[in-house]
Amino acid sequence: MSAPVYKRILLKLSGEALMGDDSYGINRTVIERIVAEIAEVVAMGVQVAMVIGGGNIFRGVAPAAAGMDRATADYMGMLATVMNSMALQDAMNRAGLDCRVQSALNLEQVAEPFIRGKALRYLEEGKVVIFAAGIGSPFFTTDTAAALRGVEMSAEVVIKATKVDGIYTADPKKDPHAVRYQSLSFDEAISKNLQVMDATALTLCRDQKLPIIVFSIFKAGALKRVVFGEGEGTLVRVE
């Protein structure tokens, strides 16, 4: 088999991807399936860093957060990403993967602090590194955290894992005539407001010439096809 096209990736996983068909929380079967996909590419020598959202956890308390101070709500969301990171780390360890969680918030009892040099060394040693708590500041999404950590880790691509197999001209669940883009430029994604990631994340990736691939984590073998450059998902390219 040929070598992977991408040797170091930043995988952005939405919290909602961990729910499966549940209303909120973590579906054990789903998380084990996702870990199996990651283990497959790690075994091929791909260095994997990750950022995970917290929407699946925060969704359970969202009604109580209505009207809450935005910064407070954002910090709660950061803690939700830590919970997801811990669950993912546990699943990876049980699957035989060596995984480390680094948090942008000071939570030394459950996660290491984010230290760039240490994270890079972990990746070079073949460990999976999960970056929790976003960037540690409110008003910035985990999409922005993924873009920032991707640049800091010298990743070759940010891979956004979703429930949809790419970027479409419209919501494919609502519009049966929606067409999936094979690729598009950052400027196209921003001007068409395609909601690939938030504008801050897109702009950072564009300026740092870091491509993005959007794909479905629920298609068997899809992550491997992405890292081998087999046209899976949609590429947001650097021009």
Find out whether 15 is annotated in a ligand binding site. yes
Asked if residue 4 belongs to a known ligand binding site, the reply is no
Residue 140 annotated as lining a ligand binding site: yes
Query: Is 55 among the annotated ligand-binding positions?
Result: yes
CA 111 to chain CA centroid, nearest Å = 18
- Is 58 annotated to bind ligand? no
Q: Is 211 annotated as a binding residue?
A: no
Q: Is 204 annotated as a binding residue?
A: no
Is 13 known to sit in a ligand binding site?
Answer: yes
Annotated ligand binding at 85? The verdict is: no
69 is annotated as contributing to ligand binding: no
- Please tell me whether 53 is known to bind a ligand: no
Q: Is 166 annotated as a binding residue?
A: no
136 labelled ligand-binding: yes
- The residues near 215 (Cβ < 8 Å, ≥ 6 apart) are 159, 160, 161, 162, 165, 166, 222, 223, 226, 232, 233, 234
* Backbone φ, ψ for residue 94 (5° rounding): -70, -25
Strand ranges (DSSP E) for the chain? Answer: 8-13, 47-52, 99-103, 112-113, 128-132, 157-162, 183-185, 212-216, 234-237
**CB-based contact 32:127 (threshold 8 Å):** no
Residue 59, annotated ligand binder? yes
Q: Is 186 annotated as a binding residue?
A: no
Of 107, 208, 199, 108, whose CA–CA distance to 157 is shortest? Answer: 208
Q: Which residues are documented as binding site for UMP?
A: 54, 74, 135-142
Q: Which residues are documented as binding site?
A: 12-15, 54-55, 59, 74, 135-142, 162, 168, 171
Q: Which residues are documented as binding site for ATP?
A: 12-15, 55, 59, 162, 168, 171
